[in-house]
Amino acid sequence: MTVVFTRSQIAAAVATVLSAATMAAATAKDAGEPSQSAAKPKGTYATGDFHNHTTCSDGAISMEKLVKKSTDKQDTPWGLDWFVQAGHGGSGNRNCTLVEDASLSTPAYPYVEGRGPSTTWANSIGTAAVKGNTGSSDGSSTTALASLPNPSMWRWQSIQEYQYPVTEYLSGLKNVPVFMGLESVVAGHEHTSMSVISGQIVGKKGGTVGAGGYVPVGDATALAKWSYCFDRGDTDNSRGGGQNWDCSVPGSDHSSPSNPDWRPTAAKIMPAGGAGSGVRGHLKTVEAMKWMAAYHPTTSYYVPAHLERAGPFNPDGNNGFNIEHLRNFNNAAPTVAFGMETQPGHGASDNRGEYSPDRNNIGGVRVDSVGGTTYGGTGVYGAQIGGVWDALLGEGRNWWFFASSDWHNRGSFAPDDRRTTQDFYPGEYQRDFVMVRDTEGKASDINTPQEIVDGLRSGNSWTASGQLIDRLTFVACAGERFKGAQGEAQLEVFALQAAMNRTDVNINNANCATMGEKLKIRMGEDVVVAVALRDPTGTNYSPYTFANPSLAQIGVNQPLNMPELSHVDLIRGYVKGYKQPGTPEYSGQWPDNWIDNQDMSTVPEGAKNTTAKVLHTFGPGKWKSKYGNGNDAFAGFKTMVFRIKGVADSQYVRLRGTNLPPAVPYETDANGNPLADIYTNASDPSKLTIPCTVRMSTPIPANTVYTGDSIDGCPDHLARYPEVTGPQYVSYDVAAWADLWFYSNPIFVEVKEGQIVAGVN
For residue 474, give the 3-state DSSP assignment.
strand
pTM (2 decimals)? Answer: 0.95
Element (H, E) at 71: helix 63-71
pLDDT of the residue at 140: 86
pLDDT of the residue at 210: 86
Average pLDDT, the chain: 94
> What's the rounded Cα separation, in Å, for the pair 606 and 310?
20
Taking the CA atoms of 105, 106, 112 and 117 in sequence, report the sign of the dihedral they define: negative
Answer whether the bond into residue 722 is a cis peptide, omega within 30°: yes
Q: Got the DSSP string for 172-208?
A: HHHTS-EEE-EEEEBTTSSEEEEEE-TT---S----E
Can you name the residues that pair with 400 across neighbouring β-strands?
339
> 469 and 533 in contact (C-beta within 8 Å)?
yes
> What's the rounded Cα separation, in Å, for the pair 743 and 459?
12
Q: Which amino acid appears at position 291 of this protein?
A: W
pLDDT of the residue at 689: 97
Q: How far apart are the first and last CA of the chain?
A: 30
Backbone angles phi and psi of 250, in degrees to 5:
-55, 130
pLDDT of the residue at 29: 37
Q: Which amino acid appears at position 350 of this protein?
A: D
Q: Which amino acid appears at position 451 of this protein?
A: E
pLDDT of the residue at 254: 86
> 359 and 595 in contact (C-beta within 8 Å)?
no
- Beta-carbon contacts of residue 703 (< 8 Å; ≥ 6 apart): none
Q: What stretches of 7-90 adopt beta strand conformation (E)?
A: 43-49, 82-85
pLDDT of the residue at 19: 41
pLDDT of the residue at 669: 98
Q: Which amino acid appears at position 673 of this protein?
A: N
Query: C-alpha angle 622/624/625, rounded to 5°?
Result: 130
Can you name the residues that pair with 747 across neighbouring β-strands?
653
Per DSSP, 297 falls in state: S
> What's the rounded Cα separation, in Å, for the pair 341 and 261?
30
Q: Which residues of the chain have pLDDT under 50?
A: 1, 18-38
